[in-house]
Amino acid sequence: MAQSDVDVVVVGAGFAGMYLLHELRKTGFSHRLLEAGDDVGGTWYWNRYPGARCDIATTDYQYTWDPELHEQWQWSEKHAAQPEILRYAQFVAKKHDLYSGIEFNTRVDGAQWNEVAKRWSIHTSTGETITCQHYVMATGCLSVPKEPDIVGTEKFTGNVYVTGRWPHEGVDFTGKRVAVIGTGSSGIQSIPHIADQAKELVIFQRTPNFSMPAFNGPAPQDRIERLKADRVTYQHEARYSGTGVPLEDSTVSALSVTQEEAFVMLEEAWQKGELLSLGNTFMDSAINRKANDVVAEFMRMKVRSVVKDPEVAELLSPYKHGYGTKRPCMDTGYFETFNKPHVRLVDLNTSPIRSITETGIDFGKESMEFDAIVYATGFDAMTGAIVSANITGKNGVTLKSKWEHGPLTYLGLTSVGFPNLYMITGPGSPSVLSNMMVSIEQHVDWIRDTLVHMREQGFETIEPTPLAEEGWRVHCTDCADITIFQEANSWYMGANVPGKPRVMFPYIGGVGRYRLACEEVVNKGFLGFELAGSTKKQCNDGLVREVQPDVDMVLDFIATLNLPAMETMTPTEARAFSEASSAMRPSGPEVGEISDGVLPGADGELEYRLYRPATPGPHPIAVYFHGGGWVFGSHTSDDPLCRDLCAQSNTLIISVNYRHAPEAPFPAAAEDGFAALKWVHANAGALGGIADQIAVAGWSAGGNVAAVTAQMARDKGGPQLSGQLLLCPVTDGSHQHRSHIENGERFILTKSLMEWFWNHYATPEQRKSPQASPLLAASLAGLPPTMLVTCQFDPLRDEGNAYARALMQAGVKVEHVEARGHIHTSITMVDMLPSGAPHRREMARALRGFFS
Ligand code: NAP
């Protein structure tokens, strides 16, 4: 007789539930595992449609927790078919006696949290109520087929099949007229098999999908050898990789090679017959639309090369979504199927289904009769199975109502208001964007270790804090925002189910980065969780990821280079280093014209570079001062940023060099700035600009020069400025701000580098002058409208914030943007860091606004 009160109840006997069962036994937790089906295998139990096959290679799609399995189980193919994967699950279940611990044919109807007892009550389809301390949903991401959303589905009297609920005895379509609706992975895999049998096959396609041939055969020998040689390293690399398969991330931009070269590289990946290799060919295909187009066009070229009828080929070619933004597919003979005379493709965009009828389908202007209809229409993905399990947490709040506008989780594992509830591969974790085996094992390990920790430490409950959960939501959104995934109407975005909120459901930051975040949470004393026992409580509230994800990647990359700190260099060395780094950047957008010239500075000539918009002039002017700590940089060193500002704001940008320290210390830069402004004003017409529409702009030390120049223009009789645009400006050399300490290391501009700059530029006494520290001016009244951008992880953040506040207090019109998750340099990194683009758009808008 099973216990009605246990430590842990688990729902689902797929690969996640099976492994968790093994671990709960090992660690001595009492448990019950409930499964709706009558065997193990989860997705591989339900999805028995013809052609069902895994598209992660067998070298990677297998358990790692039992090393003996690698000797005892041999896969027959590179991409295993469903029957073989199901046999593998059964083999593992038998080997570890898991069957004895699973209650099959048992559904969970609902679960309630009892706040007094600190336990869950689980109600099952057998009429039993089980109570437990911990409740684990191992219900899979793609386990609830989408409700039919086509008119008349109930009318059809022929045979109806749903790919995700395929009859165990199989289906014989021989001699039948068959309709298949849906061309996602399930449709694409099953269609060639159905075509082999059917007398007539009509495929109803709403959206064509990208698919590549699996070229199935034996598992890749090189991968097998790597595994055999050093399984531990192989698995470690997989666990910290982007997708859960140990591939080296590409460092090649699709835009840095010709289309011919790109196609050669893609062909090489194509021949491997592995989805992840193809997707990994270029570093930017997921974040840059133009880079993605290169891959998409390659895929369309492949369709044209197979499908004989050019019109059909065109219909089968995706144009409306980028490669990978909807789950790409692996097939065996899919496109070839459309060359068969008894196979027809119907484009639902031009011939929509009017209704399913008793005998067939009415679509466009036609009616056709069928013996069978196959729905390959997908799943209520990621949340369907969890939400439909009727989970009620604290204060009677259901998970369904909490997630009405999108799932809210901490780490995709837990959710506020639902103590001791765990989701394996839940929304907000890499899950469907990863090799599921790797993600499943990581989640099971995390849950097991957490349960053991709680037991050892005397904690009864664990629940994330609202701050941590909201922080994770923001981080997940930040990760999605830098990609082009959100453009597609995919199930990743919930777009396939009418009424589902449109958010990115899986975590797209990568398997390794996700794992590091989970590890960090634990290592920091369960950061963002409240743990409570009868006599103790612990809560280390906080956020695990705050830096913008693309900025974080750049920081990690820079850390691997082991570069010498700039402040250990001489100014000459630092200048050479800075120039060499700048030479490797993308160039930035095209502008109408770029020309170089010289103008008179305070003590000799200064070089300048003029960026003219492509529109007819004359244009308003921004006199721009570059960054570089007064020590390095030049009129060309912020080239991509100046181009971007020019192109986006339709403003003439004149980037002026100024004399550098230590050769020309304070106040040389300030005096040059003012001299340059006066000259530009006097020569505005000749430059193609408008004399009474002039602003100053600058970044970092250049922001300091711009701010000081604006004060000098105010104090010395003009020119009258329309505005000042200050990006991470240096405003105060006189004392330490909190951000100097908080952000003093790791974020490129360090506290010690900033001190090195100041030491070259101005003495401690000189720093008290407003011409070095504009924040110290006696009055800021009368300065022009200001756009000031500060970055959360910049040592200069607080002095920038202080300047914005002081300007406002002085009555100046100020727009102050605090760029969340950014560092001192990130907003200038045009075409490198997508997360900076919205802020540059704001800067350009503000610049335009100065002149309106
Ligand atoms: P899917 O990718 O969501 O595809 C569903 C298809 O049905 C789409 O073509 C969709 O069109 C179409 N559809 C949905 N509702 C429709 C309607 N009312 N009228 C007409 N067409 C409609 O579902 P899936 O093929 O079952 O695959 C789901 C996921 O399961 C895959 O993306 C993959 O992650 C996983 N899977 C993996 C494998 C594998 O490893 N080999 C195999 C199968 C499935 P729209 O695109 O226009 O919505």
pLDDT tens, 726-775? 999 999 998 889 999 999 999 999 999 999 999 999 999 999 999 999 99
Q: What local confidence, expressed as pLDDT, does residue 579 receive?
A: 92
Distance between Cα 187 and ligand 1 center (Å): 7
- Nearby residues of 114 by Cβ (< 8 Å), 6 or more positions away: 120, 121, 131
pLDDT digits (tens, 9 = 90+) for 5-39: 999 999 999 999 999 999 999 999 999 999 999 99
- Nearby residues of 791 by Cβ (< 8 Å), 6 or more positions away: 728, 797, 818, 819, 822, 823, 824, 826, 827
Q: Residue 706, SS3?
A: helix
Is the CB of 186 inside a 6 Å radius of any atom of ligand 1? yes
d(CA 381, CA 397): 22
Q: What's the one-letter identity of residue 719?
A: P
Q: Residue 7, SS3?
A: strand
Distance between Cα 189 and ligand 1 center (Å): 11
Query: Burial, 390: exposed, middle or buried (Cβ in 10 Å; 0-12, 13-18, 19+)?
Result: middle
Rounded to whole angstroms, what are the CA distances from 515 to 420, 434, 507, 542, 551? 20, 12, 11, 18, 18
Backbone angles phi, psi at 667, to 5 degrees: -100, 30
Distance between Cα 414 and ligand 1 center (Å): 27
Strand partners, 612: 593
- Nearby residues of 304 by Cβ (< 8 Å), 6 or more positions away: 310, 313, 317
Classify residue 721 by its DSSP letter: P
Q: Name the band, by pLDDT with cuts 50, 70 and 90, for residue 235.
A: very high
Q: What local confidence, expressed as pLDDT, does residue 1 receive?
A: 66
Looking up tokens 């068959």 gives: 178
Classify residue 42 by its DSSP letter: T
Is the CB of 379 inside a 6 Å radius of any atom of ligand 1? yes
Is the CB of 150 inside a 6 Å radius of any atom of ligand 1? yes
Q: Which residue has the higher pLDDT, 690 or 276?
A: 690
- Nearest atom in ligand 1 to the alpha carbon of residue 56 is 40
Q: What local confidence, expressed as pLDDT, does residue 147 receive?
A: 85
Q: Residue 558, SS3?
A: helix
Candidate of 327, 502, 505 to mutate for ligand 1, largest count of ligand atoms within 8 Å of Cβ: 327
Q: What local confidence, expressed as pLDDT, does residue 375 receive?
A: 97
- Atom 10 in ligand 1: which residue has the minimum CA distance? 182
Sign of CA dihedral 310, 312, 318, 323: negative
Candidate of 186, 210, 216, 276 to mutate for ligand 1, largest count of ligand atoms within 8 Å of Cβ: 186
Cα torsion 518, 521, 523, 524 to 10°: value is: 170
Distance between Cα 182 and ligand 1 center (Å): 6
* 186-195, 216-225, 832-841, range with the lowest pLDDT: 216-225
- Please choose, from the candidates 586, 46, 548, the residue with its C-alpha nearest in 3D space to the C-alpha of residue 283: 586
- Atom 31 in ligand 1: which residue has the minimum CA distance? 185
- Global pTM reads 0.95
Is the CB of 45 inside a 6 Å radius of any atom of ligand 1? no
d(CA 363, CA 204): 10
pLDDT digits (tens, 9 = 90+) for 540-556: 999 999 999 999 999 99
Is the CB of 184 inside a 6 Å radius of any atom of ligand 1? yes
Distance between Cα 392 and ligand 1 center (Å): 30
Candidate of 377, 431, 485 to mutate for ligand 1, largest count of ligand atoms within 8 Å of Cβ: 377
Rounded to whole angstroms, what are the CA distances from 773 to 138, 265, 322, 666, 678? 59, 53, 49, 11, 21
Q: What local confidence, expressed as pLDDT, does residue 2 receive?
A: 83
Q: Name the band, by pLDDT with cuts 50, 70 and 90, for residue 834.
A: very high
pLDDT surpasses 70 at 473: yes
Backbone angles phi, psi at 263, to 5 degrees: -65, -35
d(CA 294, CA 254): 7
Q: Name the band, by pLDDT with cuts 50, 70 and 90, for residue 583.
A: confident
Candidate of 207, 316, 496 to mutate for ligand 1, largest count of ligand atoms within 8 Å of Cβ: 496
Is the CB of 183 inside a 6 Å radius of any atom of ligand 1? yes
- Nearby residues of 179 by Cβ (< 8 Å), 6 or more positions away: 201, 202, 203, 204, 360, 361, 368, 370, 372, 373, 374
Q: What local confidence, expressed as pLDDT, does residue 506 receive?
A: 97
d(CA 288, CA 285): 6
- Atom 2 in ligand 1: which residue has the minimum CA distance? 184
- The number of helix segments (H) and strand segments (E) in the chain equals 27, 29
d(CA 414, CA 427): 10
d(CA 671, CA 662): 15
Is the CB of 325 inside a 6 Å radius of any atom of ligand 1? no
Token pair listed for 848: 């335009």
* CA R_g for the chain: 31
Strand partners, 423: 137
Sign of CA dihedral 770, 775, 779, 781: positive
The residue-averaged pLDDT of 636-651 equals 98
Is the CB of 55 inside a 6 Å radius of any atom of ligand 1? yes
Is the CB of 54 inside a 6 Å radius of any atom of ligand 1? yes
Is the CB of 496 inside a 6 Å radius of any atom of ligand 1? yes
DSSP for 746-784, please give it: SSSS-HHHHHHHHHHH--TTGGGSTTT-GGG-S--TTPP
pLDDT surpasses 90 at 585: no
Neighbours of 435 (CB within 10 A): 24
Is the CB of 491 inside a 6 Å radius of any atom of ligand 1? yes
pLDDT digits (tens, 9 = 90+) for 644-667: 999 999 999 999 999 999 999 999
pLDDT digits (tens, 9 = 90+) for 126-148: 999 999 999 999 999 999 999 88
Please, what is the angle between helix 221-229 and helix 231-239, to 10°? 110
Number of Cα atoms under 13 Å in the Cβ half of residue 265: 22
Strand partners, 134: 8
Cβ(633)–Cβ(831) below 8 Å: no
Average pLDDT of the chain to the nearest whole number: 96
Sign of CA dihedral 615, 617, 620, 626: positive
Distance between Cα 491 and ligand 1 center (Å): 8
